[in-house]
Homo-oligomer: A and B are copies of this chain.
């Protein structure tokens, strides 16, 4: 992030600058390998400037998670109805917005009682529940099917992000995920 001022005081939207700097830092060294002061330095402000906007480190991560869940819900809703495409969108978000995703599913890092965050979270969950219905063999299995489909794509994302699929390192994660979901959903074409 470029400094938002050159000299003297400046009332800019530090909020955005700090969140962007945090995303960069998380991309480099994980959700816990950075410091607030370093972010402030990157944004060109004093070490305590972020505190006014986010309160503390947990507050900043709460903002990141909330924004992430919002983007996540948007992405899933764009594919809603087509179970395969929702799954692919899930993986695409995880890989394409890794810093967000890594914070979102680490609740000990942020405050779950944030209202915006909770709303976006439920919005994303609703897409998963409604879209997995077509995969269910019988209404009695709807809930299990949702959990299975969610687990499949969430696990694929987690394994990919943690580098646990080394033989797949040079493949396109989205294409591989599509093949895996197809196999799961009993479709024929193995991509």
In the assembled complex, the CB of A137 is this many whole angstroms from the nearest CB of chain B, namely: 8
| Cα A163 to Cα B121 with chains together (Å) | 12
* Band of interface residues on A: 35 or more
Which one of B30, B143, B158 lies within 8 Å of A154 (CB-CB)?
B158
A interface SS class: helix
Q: Is A7 at the interface (CB under 8 A from chain B)?
A: no
Once the chains are docked, how many angstroms separate the CA of A23 from the CA of B109?
Answer: 18
Q: Does A33 contact B (CB under 8 A)?
A: yes
Copies of this chain, whole number? 2
In angstroms, Cα B61 to Cα A30, docked, is 15
A180 closest partner in B (C-beta):
B148
Given A108-B33, A144-B183: A156 and B155 interface contact (C-beta under 8 Å):
yes
Closest A-B pairs by Cβ, 8 of them: A155-B155, A151-B155, A154-B155, A32-B32, A151-B156, A30-B108, A148-B180, A105-B162
Q: Taking beta carbons and an 8 Å cutoff, which residues of A are in contact with B?
A: 29-33, 105-109, 137, 140-141, 143-145, 147-148, 150-159, 162-165, 167-168, 176, 179-180, 183-184, 190
Would you give 8 A-B contacts (Cβ < 8 Å), ordered by A?
Answer: A31-B32, A105-B158, A137-B183, A144-B179, A144-B190, A148-B152, A154-B159, A158-B158
